[in-house]
Amino acid sequence: MNKFFIIGIIVIGVIVLAGATFYFSGNKSNSSATLGAETENKISHMTPTDFQKAINSGEYTLIDIRTEEEYASGHISGAAQIDFYQTQEFSAYLDSLDKSKEYLIYCRSGNRSGQALNIMQDKGFSDASDLAGGISAWIGAGLPIEK
């Protein structure tokens, strides 16, 4: 009986140790990958006020990713337009951009631009931000649009 008890304790110890090693080694690699991505890339969401300051700095390329019809109904001055829903054209457009430059993107509500930020990050862009709440938040903050 003593012999089986000792063997059981050893087996349980090995299983616990193996499980802990697997768990913690997996978490370390995920943490360092996430940390590395945060330090290399500046991918963020900006308030309308901060977005306007970034536009005014002149350091960013401004991109409206809404449809042509949405763009024609009113857009932020100086914005280039590319339709996020035209997936092949949108992807090709992103591929044509210099990934080391700084970009500001926006849509109607922030949904498409949030997805676009993920795509841009996957494509290796180092500095891109979207307008939190989209042009709806921009207008709500009383900021100007042009038609």
**Secondary structure letter of residue 2 according to DSSP:** H
**Which residue among 107, 116, 117, 131 is the active-site one?**
107
* Contact in structure between 119 and 43 (CB atoms under 8 Å): no
Tell me the C-alpha distance between 76 and 52, whole Å: 10
CA distances from 29 to 41, 69, 92, 112, 128 (A): 18, 45, 32, 30, 25
* 43 part of the active site: no
* Contact in structure between 132 and 108 (CB atoms under 8 Å): no
* Composition of the chain by helix, strand, coil, percent to 5: 55, 15, 25
Catalytic residue positions, numbered? 107
